[in-house]
Structure 1
Amino acid sequence: MTQHHQPAPAPAPAFAHAQDGTALAYQHRGQGPPLVLLAGQANDHHWWDGVREDFHTVRSTITLDLRGTGDSDKPEGPYSIDQFADDVVAVLNALGIERADVYGTSMGGRVAQSLAIRHPERIRRLVLGCTSPGGPHAVERDASVRRSLAQPDPQAVRRALADLMYSPHWQAAHPGPYRTLGDPRMPAHARRAHLIASNGHDAWSELPRVAAPTLILHGDQDRLTPPDNLPLLASRIPGARTHLFPGARHAYFEECREEAGTLVREFLLEEG
């Protein structure tokens, strides 16, 4: 059983700089070999607040505020998934880290795919959560989900997002506030740029090049990124392992915290 402690007060962010000069805020916590944690679309590093401490028994953790979010610069777009991946490399370079384990969820899983394809020498082990290969081969969310996220009332959108992230049972036991519903400080242009970047991802043809040992995780009730994307990814990434969490929605990593955290820690500790 994982011991859950109150997280320590957050230190001030440090900054790396992307190739185009964009300042990228990052947070490096804990001791041990590095694990990069990549958040979902239009979210900052607080996406991981609910589970980050669970990895500190085996890894230090590195998060960053992708451009457009958090304390990072918010330049005009366009942004791209490949650009986000290069921004992660800029953070690793700033920390003097040659190789790291990488765990990306949702759009962060798309960024992790790009990292594994474009910078294979920087990744030791790869975990992809609630994500998809993108492009015409991916299984997209249905029209009702898209409509629920396009409502003009921001509070209605937040309620819809919460229902996409967590089951009603879990929400009843954990009334929030939730840190996975978007970075409230993002300007509109950055939100649009994140959406366009995520929609532009298509790694299908390149995924067979992924060399890192890979674990793919998904909630079987995920309507935001349908779980049929899990076997699609696994069919393209050599030797990939998979796990579905029964009853879980998009934020399986919080709702199934104990099981998901244990699976990831054990996978990271394997040799080879």
Structure 2
Amino acid sequence: MIRPRLFQSVKSALGVIKRFASNISEQKVNVGGIDINYVKSGDGPNGILLMPGAIGSAWTDFKPQIEKLPSLLPDYTIIAWDPPGYGKSIPPRRQFGLDFFQKDAEWAKDFMQALGYSSFSILGWSDGGITSMIMAAKHRRLVDNMIIWGAGAYINEKEIKLIEGMRDVSTWSQRMREPLEKLYGPERFAEIWSEWIDAMLEFFKQRNGNFCREDIEKIVVPTLILHGVKDPMIAEEHIPYIRKRILGCRYYSFPEGKHNIHLKYSDEFNNVVANFLLQKY
């Protein structure tokens, strides 16, 4: 038998979950002639843009944040986008020039302004973290706070060899392949992933691996760096490199975490993010 007080607590918790779940919507907005797909949850006056990793999208990369962050941050609206050429923001076909991170940063700025935000916070994972650093350096008045993880300012030879070993997606586990195959179709998924790897090789050959080395020392916005200590996708040198150059940045580590700490440890991750934005961390 459920005691009345416990029943009311459960009922209240379910009510909160239902309220935020019903407040999730997916839509498109035209920005510069491109229909950009995004998912919105929560209804607070402050905006948070979630920036996905390589070839990722709102739902493949940020499901736990879309569904759970609004309950922790009622004064915020969570916005997760599919960058142009990714996910449901197709067309256009994705282009991977040496300036694609810079272009994504400008698209993200224009996208958020099209939604009516004069400033907002950003959460950037992996490639999205690189784009976030570029945006925070270039548009200081636009970015309120920045949280990044799984990202570096450059790519080194060891990392190039690692991603080359991942080119054949048929060697990936079904769990890793399935959401991206569903998003793009098996053929296009393999193709776009290979195009991304080729872009990384060009960065290494033509720019000594440099993504945004010249940008990070210009970042002055409040910054939190999250780190999966056992992340196999980025070299250990990146974290001290960034921490040394972004003055006043905060740091939080997941000792057993790998590249996807926001998915594997979503509750802890979300709480750390919320505490940082609420100035409790």
TM range (shorter): 0.7 to 0.9
Residue equivalent to 1:127: 147
> Residue type of the partner of 2:42?
G
Matched, 1:75 2:93: yes
Specify every segment of 5 or more residues in structure 2 that has no aligned partner in the other structure, as ranges: 1-12, 204-209
- Shift in Å at residue 146 of structure 1? 2.7
Letter in 2 for 1:124: D
Q: Which residue of 1 aligns with 2:266?
A: 257
Q: CA deviation at 1:39?
A: 0.6
Distance 1:178 1:218 in 2: 26
Change (3 A) 1:87 1:189: farther
Asked whether the 8 Å contact 2:167–2:197 carries over to 1, the reply is: no
Higher relative contact order (CA 8 A, sep 6+): 1
Q: CA deviation at 1:218?
A: 1.1
Q: Note if 1:51 corresponds to 2:71.
A: no
1:14 maps to 28
In structure 1, give the amino acid aligned to 2:48: L
Structure 1 residues 155-194: aligned runs within 5 Å: 155-158=170-173, 162=176, 179=179, 183-185=183-185, 186=188, 190-192=192-194, 194=196
Q: Please, which runs of 5 or more residues in structure 1 have no aligned partner? A: 163-176
> How do residues 195-234 of structure 1 correspond to structure 2 at under 5 angstroms?
195=197, 200=203, 202-234=211-243
User: 2:79 corresponds to which letter in structure 1?
Assistant: I
The amino acid across from 1:156 in the alignment is T
1:245 is matched with which residue?
A: 254
Q: Which amino acid aligns with 1:244?
A: S
Residues 34 and 189 of structure 1, relative CA distance in 2, 3 Å threshold? same
Q: Which residue is equivalent to 1:87?
A: 107
The residue aligned with 1:25 is 37
Contact 2:163/2:197 (8 A) holds in 1: no
Structure 1 residue 127: Cα displacement: 0.3
Write 1 or 2 for the structure with the bigger share of helix: 2
Residues 207 and 256 of structure 1: is their aligned pair in 2 closer, same or farther, counting only changes over 3 Å? same
- Matches of 1:196 and 1:34, distance apart in 2: 34
Structure 1: distance between partners of 2:180 and 2:231: 14
Q: How many residue pairs end up in the alignment?
A: 248
- Rounded to whole Å, the distance in 2 between the matches of 1:93 and 1:247 is 38
Instruction: Please tell me the residue identity of whatever aligns with 2:139.
Output: H
Which amino acid in 2 is paired with 1:102?
I
- Structure 1: distance between partners of 2:214 and 2:49: 25
Distance in 2 of aligned mates of 1:75 and 1:178: 21
Using a 3 Å threshold, how does the CA distance of structure 1 residues 244 and 42 change in structure 2: closer, same or farther?
Answer: same
What letter is aligned with 1:34? G
What SS is found at the alignment partner of 1:50?
helix
Q: How far did residue 241 of structure 1 move?
A: 1.2
3-state SS of the aligned residue for 1:67? coil
Alpha-carbon distance in 2 for matches of 1:233, 1:224: 16
